[in-house]
Amino acid sequence: MSYCAIILAAGKGHRYSKNIPKQYTLFDNELIINYSLKIFSELKTIKKIILVIKKIHFIKFKDQVYKNKKITIIEGGRERKDSVFLALSKLKTKNYKKVLIHDAARPFLKKKLINKIIKFSKNNDAVIPYLPNTDTIVFQNRILDRKKVLSIQTPQCFSYRKIFSLHKEYKNNRFNDESSLFFLKNFKVKKILGDYNNTKITLKNDLSNKSELSYGIGYDIHKLEKKYKLYLGGIHIPYSMGTVGHSDGDPVIHALIDSLLGSKKFGDIGTLFPNNKKFKNKRSTFFLKKVINLMEEQNVKINNIDINIIAQKPNLKKYKKIISKNLAKICNISEKKISVKGKTTDRLGNVGKNKAIACEVITSVTSN
């Protein structure tokens, strides 16, 4: 039997975040949307995948979205049901017997559940995964029998012909998902036990208990010379010498940027801001702000930053607090999360001979 899949990713995800739709946020270094695309692409039974998106959002993440020759991308509609309808219409000429419809917002789907649904779909026009309810359910001050109240998940599998004709019939009605149409008609629906892990990301904290901790490391060193200004952590330090660099040569911010980027494998400072005309003599705080924007867009939260500034001179004691305050402000985090430590090298090496200032940084982040 020929199967195709529709992956719905055209929603705004308003209840989850106002920044970017939830399907484009990262979980475990991977876009949420990619989990569904990958799992359906890998299944031999699935011959075609229609990915439904909104161009205005998709365009920004295009390069990071999982690719496979089975996938065709189309523009979605206003409501979820409109997106499904557009996808079903796209498949019209293809002759697929069965269609699996899945929310991209469910990244924890396993092949085992898809295969179970496919197995039951051989003899059923509609197969849906459900979970029994464990909470007490109250409806208009009446307690319902919780065993009879089910939570319905996706993917749901339907006979293509049946679901398309139901969609046409109910085009002007509101409904939650495709199973609702079968229930409305009193058509037979095969309910199979779903998977407790196959949750839908809906609200702000839905991924927080699944969030991942990771670390990044950064290091930088700049030559000290007369007639240059000295910037450390974005603060101008009065001194007879300053650091030489393509930008303002701030080793603290450069090391910090690399540690931030490294924590999520976002590349490195040289790749993002190459030594070209565009970035010549730019303040390093400009680069840091850009990187912080990137982290915020991807829902990456900084847990803490630990900085070692390695300089023989000048003495940094009175600047450590000012630097951490300044960095906290740019990084949009509390000052409590940044530690700035000063270190000499006992007059050893280039730093010890006051020819350079170096910095090392470790950053810890969580993301979901």
Closest to ligand CTP by CB, 53 vs 260, is 53
| Interface with ligand CTP, residue 76, by CB under 6 A | yes
Residues 312-341 that bind ligand CTP (CB under 6 A): none
Binding mask 18-47 toward ligand CTP (x if CB under 6 A, else -) reads ---x-x------------------------
Which of 3, 4, 5, 9 lies at the binding interface for ligand CTP (CB under 6 A)? Answer: 9
Q: Which does 55 bind (CB under 5 to 8 A by kind): Mg ion, ligand CTP, none?
A: none
Beta carbon of residue 170, minimum distance to Mg ion (angstroms, whole number): 18
Residue from 17, 77, 120, 306 touching ligand CTP (CB under 6 A): that is 77
Least distance (Å) between residue 6 CB and ligand CTP:
9
Question: Does 4 contact ligand CTP by CB under 6 A?
Answer: no
Number of amino acids touching Mg ion (CB under 5 A): 1
Kindly state the smallest distance separating residue 85's Cβ from ligand CTP, in Å.
10
Question: Residue 105 interacts with ligand CTP (CB under 6 A)?
Answer: yes
Given Mg ion, ligand CTP, none, residue 362, with its beta carbon under 5 to 8 Å by kind, binds: none
What is the nearest approach in angstroms of ligand CTP to the Cβ of residue 101?
Answer: 9
Specify the stretch interacting with Mg ion by CB under 5 A; choose among 11-19, 65-73, 290-298, 310-318: 11-19
C-beta neighbour count of 207 within 10 angstroms: 21
Which residues contact Mg ion by CB under 5 A? 11
Which residues contact ligand CTP by CB under 6 A? 8-16, 21, 23, 52, 76-80, 83, 103-105, 200, 202
